[in-house]
Amino acid sequence: MKTGIQAFLWLLCIFFSYKIYDSINKPINFNEVKYNRYYDVIDRLKEIRTAQIAYKDVNGVYSNNFDSLVNFIDNGIFTLIEKRDSSYLEYDRIYRIDMLKEVVVVDTLGFVSVKDSLFKNNTTYKDMKKIPVKGIDTVFQIDARIIMINDYKAPVFEVKVSKNIVLFDQDEDLLKLENETISIDGVNGSEIVLGSLNEVSTNGNWPKVFDAKRE
């Protein structure tokens, strides 16, 4: 009887020791997975931002789908220009004298492909719509539109993904806390978002730590 009680107590000790160990390590492991995946997702969003800015420079608006964005990279052309100040004399009929006119002259220097300019030999842009997380086959949500700001038509875009997708295989309680995050050094809210459909912005909702080079 005494031996049985001792064995039972040892089992309880092992069980509670494991629970304590697990309660300490589970958040540590969660954060490690979270930051690694966030870095990968945000790097992909930065790639999308580069493509979107180039698309707008050429087309005047942002792309609202990834197929047109990839096609633009494959086939788009940048026109290289040079702007320089110039001036000339023009006869003024009112003052009846030659007056100096200042102008900006735009010279076309040549053309270069978008692909060579932005991505060179890197072909990862072809998969830019995919969430870079193993175990899922999901794509980013993308949208673009024109909004009015002080009577000015402004192109805007937004690309986003839910944290529930990025951290699909993690502890549900920790994921719930992460979705409620409000912190200066965290990704606030339940989504990782690039751009905005309500204001002119090409920024993401992540802190600057994710813009630094990963160690």
User: What confidence tens digit (pLDDT) does each residue in 89-143 have?
Assistant: 777 777 777 777 787 766 666 667 888 888 888 888 999 999 999 999 999 999 9
Angle subtended by helix axes 2-59 and 172-179, to nearest 10: 40
Structure confidence at residue 6 (pLDDT): 59
| pLDDT band per the 50, 70, 90 thresholds, residue 14 | low
| % of the chain at pLDDT higher than 70 | 80
Average pLDDT (173-198) is 90
- Between CA 54 and CA 37 the distance in angstroms is 26
- Between CA 184 and CA 188 the distance in angstroms is 8
Residues in a beta bridge with 106: 83
Locate all alpha helices (DSSP H) within 60-179, ordered by sequence: 66-75, 114-118, 163-166, 172-179
Average pLDDT (59-80) is 88
- Between CA 35 and CA 186 the distance in angstroms is 10
- Between CA 38 and CA 50 the distance in angstroms is 18
| pLDDT band per the 50, 70, 90 thresholds, residue 21 | very low
Lowest mean pLDDT among 26-30, 90-94, 132-136, 175-179: 90-94
Q: Report which of residues 189 and 214 the model is more confident about.
A: 189
Instruction: Identify the DSSP state of 206.
Output: S
Of the candidates 204, 201, 203, the residue with the CA atom closest to the CA atom of residue 155: 201
Of the candidates 182, 141, 144, the residue with the CA atom closest to the CA atom of residue 162: 141
Structure confidence at residue 63 (pLDDT): 96
